[in-house]
Amino acid sequence: MTAHKTPPKITACLVSTGEEVLRDEIFDSNNHFLATALGERGLPCS
Question: What residue numbers bound the domain in which 16 lies?
Answer: 8-41
Is 33 a domain residue? Answer: yes
Residue 34 contacts residue 12 (beta carbons within 8 Å): yes
Residue 15 within any structural domain of the chain: yes
Position 37 in a domain: yes
Measured CA to CA, the distance from residue 26 to residue 23 in angstroms comes to 6
pTM (predicted TM-score): 0.17
CB 34 within 8 A of CB 9: no
pLDDT, one tens digit per residue, over 1-46 is 555 565 555 555 555 555 554 444 555 566 555 555 455 555 455 5
Contact 45, 13 (CB under 8 A): yes
Q: Taking a C-beta distance cutoff of 8 angstroms, is the pair 3, 13 a contact?
A: no
33 phi and psi, to 5 degrees?
A: -70, 135
